[in-house]
């Protein structure tokens, strides 16, 4: 049986929610990694009036089908043969869901799969945590119809909760003609507070990190970056304090939608529902005692794709369960390994206190990113590529990682780039960049030469390096140039010897 990845180079994922329908097109590599290259979103308000009649109404259905026809045209133009289409809260709750899905299939050709509350929560969690790689979290996904919550401890799923606290649903219930009065706000906040479980009920660990996804949170993050003049236009893994969330929410709930729409970082369609969503996030943080939230730019769509690639048979038959999710997350967490030819070097540097643990993590990320740099004729374009990629590193450390790769290729470019991000970086970061870039150069040479290295400290001033090439020849001239960079970056004196097989002599040399 051929799996998706055997046949496809591109896959489309369609996510049909209560408020909007989204399309993401992905490039898929042979090793099942993926990169999104196109994002489309259309506000259709499919869940409009659902609470009143328990049925999807004609106008929202018409808007949704028109949007899906546009997505079909995009997919056909690109000759994408495989589409993963999932529907969530609005379709799941509607009494006329079967008639709706039949109509969608007849008019667009898309066959949607309705996700259960648990599936929606788990798929979204998988998409977010796969890149952030945080083992103990309280995760939430706030959409138009519902709020999904997943609580984990060391990747073990402790609790899954779905609550009727979607942004569109709250605005339809509490707002008068799309606007919230002070009385409406008080009623809505009281309802939100009552529905959100306690820390004890959710089994939240003391060291849990709060992670959230959803258009409301992304818009709040963009707004926060605007008002703080943040120099990186990156949302994934962005962190916001509870104080800032409360401040933003307090402002939004007292603005009319037309005023909110004038805020540059908030779209017109989002302006109608973001006030309610901001209250949910604010109250959740207050009630559960979180002082900071980590924003994920990935969620349900990425989780749907990654699980379909990793467990194709189980996904096809709707058999993805918590064990699959836990195993997938653990694998992603443990995949951050140092290449074998560098293991001894990095182990020595860490044990000797020459690099910190966070520098080791930055190095591991840089080693994965470095091969991509060769595809850029202008290495400066790699800066955008590197920062656009999603990583468990915080923004500061990811920037150091990308700059380390650039510095290893174009040393003279560093100061110019460094000054551009002076609000994020400090001068001491230059030392980390020099250290990591020197190891990147050493790694590239050792990989090409197929050589192994052992290090041993002789005394406070001297480190001895023993090189054992697998091949008959070793590029000593290039190696000495790189070793000098390593020596300067770490402020150590290194002597080395090269041991071939018995036919070759060792050559002790000091740098």
Contacts of 436 (CB under 8 A, 6+ apart): 359, 362, 363, 366, 400, 401, 404
**CA 320/CA 314 separation, integer angstroms:** 6
Cα 340 → chain centroid: 27
Of 19, 22, 139, 154, which Cα lies nearest the Cα of 89?
A: 19
Across 447-463, b (16+ Cβ under 10 Å) vs e yields eebebbbebeeeeeeeb
Nearest to 78 by CA among 167, 168, 12: 12
**Which residue pairs from 369-378 have beta carbons closer than 8 angstroms and sit at least 24 positions apart in sequence?**
369/401, 369/402, 369/405, 370/405, 370/408, 370/440, 370/443, 370/444, 373/405, 373/406, 373/409
Structure-token match 């799309």, residue found: 178
Give the model's pLDDT for residue 328: 84
What is the C-alpha to C-alpha distance for residues 97 and 246, in angstroms, rounded to an integer? 37
Q: Is 464 helix (H, G, I), strand (E, B) or coil?
A: strand
In this predicted structure, the answer to whether residue 289 has a pLDDT above a threshold of 80 is: yes
Q: What is the pLDDT of residues 347-388, one digit of tens each?
A: 888 888 898 888 988 998 888 888 777 766 676 678 777 887
* Three-state DSSP state, 148: strand
- Global pTM? 0.82
Confidence of residue 208 (pLDDT cuts 50, 70, 90): very high
In 203-342, which ranges are continuous DSSP H helix?
215-227, 242-253, 257-260, 268-271, 274-288, 300-310, 312-316, 322-334
Q: Does 2 have pLDDT greater than 50?
A: no
What does the chain come to in residues?
511
Q: Between helices 300-310 and 322-334, what is the axis angle to 10°? A: 90
Residue 5 banded pLDDT, cuts 50, 70, 90: very low
Q: Which domains does the chain possess?
A: 4-114 (3.30.420.40), 118-300 (3.30.420.150), 340-510 (1.10.3210)
Q: What is the mean pLDDT of the chain?
A: 89
Of residues 183 and 408, more confidently modeled: 183
Judged by average pLDDT, the poorest of 62-66, 123-127, 160-164, 426-430 is 426-430
CA distance 65 to 49: 17
The answer to whether residue 137 scores a pLDDT higher than 80 is yes
73: CB partners within 8 A, 6+ apart: none
Query: Helices 357-373 and 381-388 meet at what angle, rounded to 10?
Result: 120
Query: Within 10 Å of residue 165's Cβ, how many Cβ atoms?
Result: 26
* pLDDT at residue 106 greater than cutoff 60: yes
What was the pLDDT predicted at 335? 58
What is the residue whose two structure tokens read 């898309």? 110
Q: Among 1-15, 118-132, 187-201, 351-365, whose mean pLDDT is lowest?
A: 1-15
- Percent of the chain past pLDDT 90, that is, above it, reads 60
Residues contacting residue 60 through CB under 8 Å, at least 6 positions apart? 44, 45, 46, 47, 48, 49
Q: What average pLDDT does the segment 45-52 reach?
A: 90
Q: Tokens standing for 369?
A: 């990113």
The pair phi, psi for residue 212, each rounded to 5°, is: -135, 150
């Amino acid at each position: 049986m051929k799996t998706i990845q055997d046949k496809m180079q591109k896959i489309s994922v369609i996510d049909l929610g209560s408020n909007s329908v989204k399309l993401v097109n992905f490039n898929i590599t042979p090793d099942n990694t993926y990169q999104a290259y196109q994002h489309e979103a259309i506000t259709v308000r499919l869940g409009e009036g659902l609470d009143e009649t328990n049925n999807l109404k004609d106008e929202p259905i018409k808007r949704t089908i028109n949007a899906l026809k546009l997505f079909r045209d995009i997919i056909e133009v690109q000759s994408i043969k495989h589409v993963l289409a999932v529907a969530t809260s609005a379709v799941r709750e509607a009494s006329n869901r079967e008639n709706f899905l039949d109509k969608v299939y007849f008019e667009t050709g898309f066959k949607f799969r309705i996700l259960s509350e648990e599936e929606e929560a788990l798929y979204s969690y998988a998409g977010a945590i796969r890149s952030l790689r945080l083992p103990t979290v309280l995760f939430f996904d706030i959409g138009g119809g519902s709020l999904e919550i997943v609580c984990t401890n060391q990747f073990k799923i402790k609790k899954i909760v779905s609550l009727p606290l979607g942004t569109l649903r709250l605005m339809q219930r509490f707002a008068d003609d799309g606007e919230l009065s002070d009385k409406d706000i008080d009623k809505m906040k009281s309802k939100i507070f009552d529905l959100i479980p306690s820390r004890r009920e959710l089994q939240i660990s003391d060291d849990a990190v709060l992670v959230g996804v959803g258009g409301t949170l992304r818009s709040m993050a963009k707004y926060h970056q605007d008002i703080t003049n943040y120099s990186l236009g990156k949302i994934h893994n962005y962190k916001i304090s509870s104080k800032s969330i409360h401040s933003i929410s307090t402002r939004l709930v007292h603005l009319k939608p037309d005023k909110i729409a004038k805020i540059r970082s908030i779209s017109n369609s989002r302006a109608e529902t973001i006030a309610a969503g901001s209250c949910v996030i604010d109250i959740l943080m207050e009630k559960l005692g979180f002082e900071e939230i980590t924003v994920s730019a990935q969620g349900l769509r990425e989780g749907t794709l990654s699980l379909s690639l990793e467990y194709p048979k189980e996904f096809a038959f709707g058999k993805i369960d918590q064990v699959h999710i836990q195993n997938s997350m653990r694998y992603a967490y443990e995949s951050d390994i140092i290449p074998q030819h560098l293991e001894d070097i990095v182990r020595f540097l860490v044990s000797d206190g020459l690099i910190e643990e966070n520098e080791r993590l930055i190095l591991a990320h840089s080693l994965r990113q470095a091969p991509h740099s060769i595809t850029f004729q202008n290495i400066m374009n790699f800066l955008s590529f590197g920062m656009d990629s999603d990583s468990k590193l915080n923004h500061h450390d990811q920037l150091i990682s990308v700059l380390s790769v650039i510095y290893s290729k174009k040393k003279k470019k560093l100061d110019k780039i460094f000054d551009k991000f002076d609000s994020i970086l400090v001068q001491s970061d230059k030392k980390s960049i020099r250290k990591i870039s020197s190891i990147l150069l050493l790694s590239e040479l050792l990989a090409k030469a197929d050589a192994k290295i052992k290090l041993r400290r002789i005394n406070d001033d001297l480190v001895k390096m023993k090189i054992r090439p697998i091949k008959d020849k070793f590029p000593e001239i290039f190696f000495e140039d790189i070793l000098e960079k390593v020596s300067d970056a770490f402020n150590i004196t290194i002597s080395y010897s090269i041991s071939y097989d018995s036919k070759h002599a060792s050559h002790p040399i000091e740098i």
